[in-house]
Chains A and B, each alone.
Chain A
Amino acid sequence: MSAFSHGERLGGRILGAVLAVVLMLATPSLSLAQAAANELARQTLGRPYWYVFVAYAVVWLLVAGWVISIARRLSDVEKRLERD
């Protein structure tokens, strides 16, 4: 025989159903809130730093690329000057 009465069991089921509905509604809200919080955290720390480092890397890469390009062309012309 069950320790709970029929009324108690019904009350427990209703409470469980309400909790399930609350969880179903709250879970997406919580995940959305978490996503928004992560976005805000990135706004102040992670993502902008990444963009700054990429910007400075772009400068060095393009300047280095240009220097290498000049050096190769100059070396080629000087070799031809010596050969001819």
Chain B
Amino acid sequence: MKSHVANEASGSGIRWLAVGMTMLGLALMLLLHWQVFFWVNTEATMGVVQRIFYIHVPAAWVGVYLAFGIVALCSGIYLWLGDERVDMAAVATAEGGMVFTTIVLLTGPLWAKIAWGTYWTWDPRLTSTLLLWFIYLGYFIVRGSTENPEQGRRFAAVVGIMGALDLPLIHLSVTWFRSLHPQPVVLKPEGPTLDPDMLMTLMTGLLAFTVLFLGLVSFRYGLERSRWNLDLKTRRAAAS
């Protein structure tokens, strides 16, 4: 396999991108909080607890679909080209994905306790999302379990690709199986069935979480680059 390595160029551009995106993401988060607590109407059936929806769904979009989609894509490219920068992007995204999937798995039960009367049930959507969290965990365990770092990276890339098979299962579980979890209200063939104000608040949430996630993943990518530079410096010092 042809091996490429990351160059030693300064990551200052990435750092500025990370700062800019994180600041924009935080500003959008503040706008989201204003919309959720002071602007949007209370949902008629579930009451105030439905406001968890505006963070639960964006966290699921980011942590489950966007993050694991990027991890699978970067893992495939890494196995194909062997470019370490792509692997750095994969590991940075996987860590962020795990954080946001944890948000999904903690906010969902809080909503479920009021809506369903229980924090947790072994519903297909909930179970497949928990499975994804364990796949993320496996990604990091496999990565650190070998003495040869390159082998660990390759094993983790395989886990990253295999884990993506859980994504359609998570998405379609509410239609394939009898599920307590609500059906999609936005991504439907007949279009969104949400109240326009609620839809706008959800869109703000999706944008805020996406921008914040990409900003923080850029910071995490900067950390991987710095580690790579340190490793290179150590190897050069040992060789000379």
Which residue numbers of A lie inside 8 Å of B, CB to CB?
A: 43-44, 47-49, 51-52, 54-56, 58-59, 62-63, 66-67, 70, 73-74, 77-78, 80-81, 84
Contacts and interface: CB of A to CB of B under 8 A. Distances in A.
9 contacts: A48-B114, A52-B51, A55-B106, A58-B106, A59-B55, A66-B95, A74-B222, A74-B226, A77-B230
Contact of B111 (A47, A51, A74): A51
A77 B48 contact: no
A16 B3 CA distance: 96
Nearest to B33: A56
B229 A81 contact: yes
Contact of B113 (A51, A58, A73, A77): A51
Nearest to B106: A58
B227 interface: yes
A51 to B, nearest CB: 5
Interface string B48-61: 11011001100100
Contacts of B220: 70
Interface stretch (B67-75, B96-104, B164-172, B188-196): B96-104
A49 B51 CA distance: 9
Contact of B223 (A43, A49, A59, A77): A77
A70 B49 contact: no
Please classify the interface of chain B as helix (H, G, I), strand (E, B), loop, or mixed, using the class held by over half of its residues: helix
B107 interface: yes
B55 A56 contact: yes
Chain B contact-residue range equals 20 to 34
Given A55-B55, A67-B216, A62 B223 contact: no
Contacts of A66: 95-96, 99, 216
A58 B56 CA distance: 11
> Most chain-A Cβ atoms within 10 A of its Cβ — which of B49, B113, B212?
B49
Given A51-B114, A84-B233, A70 B59 contact: no
B226 A77 contact: yes
A34 to B, nearest CB: 21
B149 interface: no
B103 A84 contact: no
Contacts of A63: 99, 212, 216
Nearest to A80: B230
B237 interface: yes
Interface in B101-133: 102-103, 106-107, 110-111, 113-114
B38 to A, nearest CB: 13
Contact of B103 (A62, A73, A77): A62
Q: Which of A43, A56, A67, A81 has the most CB of B within 10 A?
A: A56
A6 to B, nearest CB: 59
B65 interface: no
A59 to B, nearest CB: 5
